[in-house]
Amino acid sequence: MNSPSTRSQAYAQAVAAKRRQIWLGLLVLGVCVVFAGHIAEISAFKFLDNIGSFTSYFYRIAHLENGQWVVSDPVEWFWGWKKWLALMGETLLMAYVGTLLGAIAALVLCFLASKNMTQNTWVVFATRRLLEFSRTVPEIVFALIFVVAFSLGPLPGILALAIHTTGALGKLFAEVVENVDMKPVDGVLATGGNWLHKVRFAVLPQVASNFASYALLRFEINVRGAAVLGFVGAGGIGQTLLEVIRKFYYADVSALLVLIIATVMLIDALTERVRHRLLGLERAG
Amino acid sequence: MSTAHDKAQATLLARYPQHFQAFYKGRISTVLLGLLAVAVFAFGVHSLDMSYRRIVGGLGELGSMVLRMIPPDPGSWHQAGVYAYAMLETLAIALLGTLMAATAAFPLGFLAARNTTINQVVKFFARRSFDTLRGVDILIWALIWINVVGLGPFAGVLALFVSDLGIFGKLFSEAIEAADDKPVEGVLSTGGSPIAAVRFGILPQLLPVLLSQVLYAFESNTRSASIIGIVGAGGIGLILSEQIRTLELQQMSFVILMILATVSLIDLVCARLRFSIIGARAL
């Protein structure tokens, strides 16, 4: 029964079955792609037609008005650097204030969302759904709504960032809190401590460095987010970027993009160093 | 009682001064950092015009807006159809953008991986290009593509394509680097070519990981595709931003709920597919 020929037959059958499955999957995918291409009004021809204009766009943003390379005259390229740096500073400040507000809200809510700290399952459930809602709705949608309610400016942007940050950090924080060692908690309870003592002396020392690390990571993400909130009028450098792109000020587009990318990379590098130190501290301590 | 406690503390302090010093040092730097954080925050609140009056007034306005959003209502069946079609367009943008990016990133990922790249210079440039693509937000890409190909879903597809190319390039190259090279040695030792080594040594390990990453990206792209319409790059975002500007709040809340429902549906489908592809293997 178990002769080599039947075994190889079984192998061939198994391979053939798998092949069939893969082809079927590819067929379904292909149908979806054709359908999607029809809906999104695109075709390969249109794409090929436009490749040229894409490269020419990049050629244009890399050249000044007088036709010279942008790098040949940095002063001319970054002619508005004072204004732009101020706007970039405003963007960073928005990200900072938004992250801090969101982190504080998340700090309060995460204990209510973790099962080991809150006995009432309804409170846990409701807090979790609230956090989920605030992180599922994109921050730019919140910003759109807040711009109507709070009028134009950085304030609606900050609030949008703060709400999204609350949702994202609240979830991460709650997961950290659910994984703490419960022995210190029992210790505090045994000496007659109340809920706040429990949080302050048993849980916070275990989670503080992790929380700070997550908050810094969120700050990085929020810097990127804050840079585009201006598209809907919610402050920061985005408003100016939108204008120069829409008005075809090619050299300004590249100058602003370079400024944003450089700032984001700088912030990433800085926070990464701090985060590594924080996590190292946790391992040592 | 308290004097005995103080006495005990004083003896401890005298006996182990180095431990207490470290403790006080940590305390001081924590307090200083906290003060700095508060100072920057206060400066931000002041310079970004977050006055108490504006916040309270805005909250009142926001409250009345929320009340006017209830109950969510598409208006008419015809409108509901329009929204459903826009949602479909959003999904189409997400699908095409993700697939195009995955297809392009697949060969490029090999160039950016330490173990399969041609040489160090190629690897360096591949990685830096991916970093740059990722460094620019998808909404900015959408605006740029609108300038190139005009308003509409095509610009959205291209925006997703470019920004996902940066993400996939990084993820794929990391997955390739993490691949076990024993199968590769096996293929090479039986006389296989380097191409055969990639095909039979690396690909079988790699494909499930890549597919799972692509599926994961697809669900996050559904979210992105639903907002790029705000700048005019197709999909449901355009409808959403128009409704907010014209204060059709009941319709707006309907559309937001529709987006959330669709995203969680895609979430569910992708999770199922991912599980069936990678099986019980934890990832």
CATH number at B187 reads 1.10.3720.10
**Does residue A158 contact residue B50 with C-beta atoms inside 8 Å?**
yes
- The helix/strand/coil state of A120 is coil
Q: How far apart are CA A285 and CA A265, in angstroms?
A: 30
Residues A112 and A143 in one domain: yes
Torsion, Cα of B110, B115, B119, B124 (10° steps) = 70
B264: in domain: yes
Average pLDDT over residues A108-128: 90
Structural domain boundaries, residue A210: 78-284
Q: Which of A36, A61, A86 is the last residue of a domain?
A: A61
pTM for this entry: 0.83
Q: What is the DSSP letter of A69?
A: B
Residues B195 and B231 in one domain: yes
- Contact assignment for A145 to B62 by CB distance below 8 Å: yes
B95: in domain: yes
B64: in domain: no
Residues B162 and B31 in one domain: no
Residues B121 and B248 in one domain: yes
Residues A57 and A108 in one domain: no
Chain B closest CA to A148's CA: distance in Å? Answer: 8
Question: How many other C-beta atoms are found inside a 10 Å radius of the C-beta of residue A232?
Answer: 28
> What tokens were used for B60?
């009142």
What integer best gives the mean pLDDT of chain A? 87
B258: in domain: yes
Q: What is the model's pLDDT at position B168?
A: 92
- Contact assignment for A40 to B140 by CB distance below 8 Å: no
A193: in domain: yes
Instruction: Quickly state the pLDDT bin for A285 (edges 50, 70, 90).
Output: very low
Alpha carbon of A219 to those of A94, A156, B80, B240, B247: distances in Å? 10, 17, 38, 27, 32
B129 to chain A, any CB pair closer than 8 A? The answer is no
A67: in domain: no
- Contact assignment for A141 to B227 by CB distance below 8 Å: yes
B154 to chain A, any CB pair closer than 8 A? The answer is yes
Residues A37 and A175 in one domain: no
Question: How many other C-beta atoms are found inside a 10 Å radius of the C-beta of residue B87?
Answer: 21
Q: What is the model's pLDDT at position A81?
A: 85
Residue A134 has pLDDT above 70, yes or no: yes
Residues A55 and A87 in one domain: no
Residues B199 and B126 in one domain: yes
What's the distance, CA A263 to chain centroid? 16
A227 vs B contacts (CB less than 8 Å): 137, 140
Chain B closest CA to A264's CA: distance in Å? Answer: 7
Residues A94 and A176 in one domain: yes
- pLDDT tens digits, A36-69: 888 877 766 777 777 777 788 888 888 887 777 8
Residues 36-55 of B with CB under 8 A from A: 37, 40-41, 43-45, 47-50, 54-55
Span of A142-156, A246-260, A270-284 with lowest mean pLDDT: A270-284
For residue A161, give the nearest of A238, A117, A227 by alpha carbon: A227
- pLDDT tens digits, A94-109: 999 999 999 999 999 9
As for how many domains chain B has, the answer is 2
A148 to chain B, any CB pair closer than 8 A? The answer is yes
- Contact assignment for A155 to B132 by CB distance below 8 Å: no
Residues A89 and A24 in one domain: no
- Contact assignment for B44 to A32 by CB distance below 8 Å: no
B28 to chain A, any CB pair closer than 8 A? The answer is no
Q: What is the model's pLDDT at position A281?
A: 62
Q: Which of B50, B67, B83 is the last residue of a domain?
A: B50
A212 to chain B, any CB pair closer than 8 A? The answer is no
Q: How far apart are CA B106 and CA A56, in angstroms?
A: 26
B55: in domain: no
For residue A245, give the nearest of B238, B135, B140 by alpha carbon: B140
A68: in domain: no
Structural domain boundaries, residue B19: 2-50
A108: in domain: yes
Residue A15 has pLDDT above 50, yes or no: yes
B61 to chain A, any CB pair closer than 8 A? The answer is yes
B194: in domain: yes
Residues B172 and B127 in one domain: yes
B143 vs A contacts (CB less than 8 Å): 231, 241-242, 245-246
Residue A270 has pLDDT above 80, yes or no: yes
Q: What CATH number is associated with residue A146?
A: 1.10.3720.10
- pLDDT tens digits, B130-178: 888 888 889 999 988 888 888 888 889 999 999 999 999 999 998 888 8
A227: in domain: yes
Residues B173 and B230 in one domain: yes
A153 vs B contacts (CB less than 8 Å): 48-49
Residues B151 and B229 in one domain: yes
B236 to chain A, any CB pair closer than 8 A? The answer is no
Residues B105 and B221 in one domain: yes
Residues A18 and A151 in one domain: no
As for how many domains chain A has, the answer is 2
Q: What is the model's pLDDT at position B2?
A: 61
Write down the ipTM of this complex: 0.82
**Does residue A105 contact residue A135 with C-beta atoms inside 8 Å?**
no
A47: in domain: yes
B118: in domain: yes
A69: in domain: no
B241: in domain: yes
Low-confidence ranges of chain B (pLDDT < 70): 1-2, 278-283
A66: in domain: no
Residues A209 and A243 in one domain: yes
Q: What is the model's pLDDT at position B30?
A: 81
Output the DSSP codes for B39-79: HHHHHHHHHTT--HHHHHHHHHHHHHHHHHHPSP--SSHHH
Residues A258 and A183 in one domain: yes
Residues B144 and B273 in one domain: yes
Residues A184 and A113 in one domain: yes
Q: Which of A41, A241, A261 sits opposite B135 (nearest CB)?
A: A261
Residues B97 and B207 in one domain: yes
